[in-house]
Amino acid sequence: MSKWVSRPDDVDALVEKWADEFPQYLRAESKTQYGGHPVWALTVTDHEQESDQKPAAMFFKPHAHEPAPIAAQMNFISQLLTGQELDGTPTALPREEILANTVLCLMPDANPAGTAAAPVDAWDGSQYTNEEFWAWMRGIDPETGKMWKRVDLWDDTVEEPLPLRYGIVYEQISEHEYVEPNRHHRSSLFRWILELRERRKWDRMLSLHQCEFTGTVENAMMILPCLYDEQPAELQEMESAWARRIVEAWEEVPGGKPRQEIAPLGYTGQQRQYFVDRWGEIYKDSAIITSEIRNNSLPCPPELQQALNEKAIEVTVAELLDGN
């Protein structure tokens, strides 16, 4: 297995080392979240070449209970910068071609304070049941002992009752306020995405997630935007073909069991409304798809979680290189 780097201190140390060693290829920018950690936006390209006309992709990881996309992004960046995976294996990627011809912005961890509060580096299914895991995710409801609720923003001077332990999915943004990073524009994630969109056009955006796949043997799936049916035909075609190519690539990963169906996000009610309100404008002009890799499950160990995430990133970059 390639080396797993997901803890904020380890991520920060590597980013700072790379920024010193590879200034031509890496621009490391950060916003400091309320908890004090830097939230990195890492732009990887050959910065000595004019980049406005290069195709560009953005990668991000909203949720702190889903660490494999951090490990995958760090290993991917390592290959582009150093020519090696984090464990020293020479890369198989066409790194010079990628650096010369694409602009990639990776946000390996949108909520490092949440990641730092997790009890494990990787959820491998050996220590926590899914119910225990979900209570780490959203917090412990004092009345049921199970997971607390999922809301866009909450204030611990207003909520009643409060969770016994605060869930790591939430990002603290002020003394008393917490947001779900994927569901509120005051999160570090959205502050970055909105700023990056002001700077240039992003041809593709890949949102990296993990979920539990309860009741199936599958371990990976692609999801289209909840407003897919209302997007321009050109974006629909781009998203569908890109998602299909990722699913096909996952079948070649040893242990990969991707879901064949590729469909728009199926949420209803309030959860759907959060996406419509916070992502609706972005869906109008951007190709954006979501990958989900199985989490907290013995049959999908951390190295497979990492490999499947990395494959989704690699295919996205290949789409840029192919001019699709």
Would you tell me which residues interact with Zn ion (CB under 5 A)?
Answer: 63, 209
Closest separation in Å from C-beta 63 to Zn ion: 4
Under 8 Å between Cβ of 67 and 79: no
Closest separation in Å from C-beta 23 to Zn ion: 33
Closest separation in Å from C-beta 37 to Zn ion: 19
Give the CA distances from residue 110 to residues 4, 30, 105, 174, 186, in Å, rounded to whole numbers and listed in that order. 18, 10, 13, 16, 12
125/181 with CB nearer Zn ion:
181
Task: Copy the structure tokens of residue 73.
Answer: 């992004």
Q: Which backbone phi and psi does 268 adopt, to 5 degrees?
A: -125, 175
22/134 with CB nearer Zn ion:
134
DSSP helix/strand/coil, 50: coil
CB atoms within 10 A of CB 16: 12
Under 8 Å between Cβ of 76 and 314: yes
Instruction: Give the DSSP per-residue string, 52-104.
Output: TTS-EEEEE---TT--HHHHHHHHHHHHHHHSB-TTSPBP-S-HHHHHHH-EE
CB atoms within 10 A of CB 220: 28
81/222 with CB nearer Zn ion:
222
25/283 with CB nearer Zn ion:
283
47/259 with CB nearer Zn ion:
259
55/62 with CB nearer Zn ion:
62
DSSP 163: P
Closest separation in Å from C-beta 196 to Zn ion: 20
- The two beta strands, 204-211 and 56-60, are parallel
What is the Cβ-side half-sphere exposure of residue 220, based on CA atoms within 13 angstroms?
30
Closest separation in Å from C-beta 168 to Zn ion: 12
286/295 with CB nearer Zn ion:
295
